[in-house]
Structure 1
Amino acid sequence: MKTIIFFFIFIGCYTLYNSSEKAYLSDSFSLQKWIQSNRFFTKITGVILLLIGLFLSIAFFGLSAGIITWIVATSLFLSLIILITPLRVINHVSLTVLYMLTFLIEFFF
């Protein structure tokens, strides 16, 4: 459940980052091209994904711990996205493998 919560928060932060006009944008992935061309819809989608992550976090951790966890995860993901995305160190394949691995570890343990 934690992996799903963090996935929603990460995707929400990433869509909001890619819909920004001031950010360093790359169009190496077709989803990024679509996100950058539909900025208004992407911003709404990013906020909805962040709210879904907030509600799931509150449901899983409780009210105060869920809000604190969401704030910490959101600030962590935003800072990592802003720092690492321009370097092009991590791509969508490595992130998919990382999330699948953490989901399997969480599922079995």
Structure 2
Amino acid sequence: MVTLISLLVFIAFYLLYSTSKKMAGVGVLGVEKWMVDHRSTFQYFSLALLIIALGLSIWFWGFGSGVFTFCILLMTLASLVVLLTPLRLVSYTSIAITLVFFLICELILF
């Protein structure tokens, strides 16, 4: 569940970051140009993903801990997106490897 919430927050912030007007076009994943063409749709979709992630976080940890954990996840993943995207270190393979690693760690530890 933690991996799913983290993935939703990552995708939502990456969509918001890719559709912002101040971001330089760094076509890392190859779909950024299409996202910019449909900017308002993807911004609403990413905000919906953030609300879903917040709701899942509140459901999983409770209200206070869920909101706090969501804020920490958002700050951490937003920092990673802002730092790693211009360096072109965000790719489908790196996202998949990281997702599988964290999913295995979550299943083993919890």
Give the 3 Å change call, closer, same or farther, for CA 28–14 of structure 1 in structure 2. Answer: closer
| In structure 2, distance between residues paired with 1:28 and 1:63 | 36
TM-score, normalized by length of structure 2?
Answer: 0.89
Flag the structure with higher helix content: 1
Amino acid at match of 2:63: L
Partner of 2:95: 95
Deviations 1:7-36 (A, max 9, x none): 111111000000101112222433323222
State how far apart, in whole Å, the 2-side matches of 1:9 and 1:68 are: 14
Kindly, what percent of the aligned residue pairs are identical?
30
Measure, in 1, the Cα distance between the counterparts of 2:38 and 2:94: 25
Q: Post-superposition, which runs of at least 4 consecutive aligned residues in structure 1 deviate over 4 A?
A: none
The alignment yields a C-alpha RMSD, in angstroms, of: 1.4
The range that moved more, 28-37 or 94-103, is 28-37
Runs (5+) with no aligned partner, structure 2: none
CA displacement at 1:76 relative to structure 2? 1.3
AA aligned opposite 1:44 = Y
Deviation at 1:107, TM superposition (A): 2.4
